[in-house]
Amino acid sequence: MGELNVDLCGITLDNPVIPASGTFGYGYEFAELYDINCLGTFSFKGTTKDPRFGNPTPRIAECEAGMINAVGLQNPGVEKVISEELPRLAKCFHKPVMANVSGFSVEDYAYTCEKLDAEPQVGWLEVNVSCPNVHGGGMSFGTSPEAAAQVTRAVKKVTTKPVIIKLSPNVTDIVAIAKACEAAGADGISLINTMLGMRIDLNRRKPVIANKMGGFSGPAIFPVAVRMVYQVSHAVKIPVVGMGGVSTARDVIEMMMAGATAVEVGAANLVDPFASQKIVEELPRVMEQYRIENLSDIIGIVE
């Protein structure tokens, strides 16, 4: 059997398959279905400094080849995540976990990251810069190289663990933002977050979700994700974690050939709770089919 392990920012993963934040909770719900230790790791639910109830309902809707969601970062806040969620997670997952962090100011990001950095279960900090900057006119931190770099520098000052900046695809030049994060000290980049989408209920003549617009994810965005992973991975020297519409082992191989060191699986987990497990099990067969001996050898192989 081929070698599935990869190195992500100095930490070895048994395989590159990582359920994406917001699609895997804190892991223990999925642990009731299968042994989640078969995964490389997973990125737990987006965590903010303070508790958040989230957006009004309905906030999730199916659509052709994907889904739209505007959950609104519902979470109990970092203090409760540390005191309640992480101890429960530790009982069923025995590897370093990826902590996903969101914020509405630079200070929010730094505070939450510093708290989670101190937790022994946390291996990486995945910092989602797709949140509105409440002090910068409401624009997302991830739409500006300067703002993304500012968050990166602030987080790196208060942490010791690898910091992976998660980028939004809803920008004109994602490479410029990735390079700014790298220059500011990021240890890795993850992309893409959801695209911005909208659907209308013809009977009600209103948007299908209460927030009107939301994050569009699923197989329909996979080609866009592959393109952006390729562009960014060839422009920076730090590892890239690819995601966006991944639903099969072949998708994982394609994303890695484009330049991803590891690959996150998002919406597929909501369609089939066993999706990530199936991808891990499927990888050796697909590697054999394409004569791949070591997954690490194919990272960025496409010029």
Cβ contacts of 153 within 8 Å, gap of 6 or more: 184, 185
Burial of 32 (0-12, 13-18, 19+ CB in 10 A): exposed
Question: Coil, strand, or helix at residue 169?
Answer: coil
In the DSSP assignment, the letter for residue 8 is E
Which tokens hold the place of 161? 């663990």
**Token pair for 93:** 């997952």
DSSP letter for 133, please: -
User: Which one of 38, 92, 113, 131 is the catalytic residue?
Assistant: 131
Task: Answer whether 301's CB lies under 8 Å from 294's CB.
Answer: no
Q: How far apart are CA 173 and CA 145, in angstroms?
A: 9
Q: Is 38 a catalytic residue?
A: no
Q: Where are the beta strands (DSSP E) in the chain?
A: 6-8, 11-13, 17-19, 60-63, 66-69, 97-101, 122-128, 163-166, 188-191, 195-197, 200-201, 206-207, 214-217, 240-242, 262-265
Residues with catalytic roles: 131
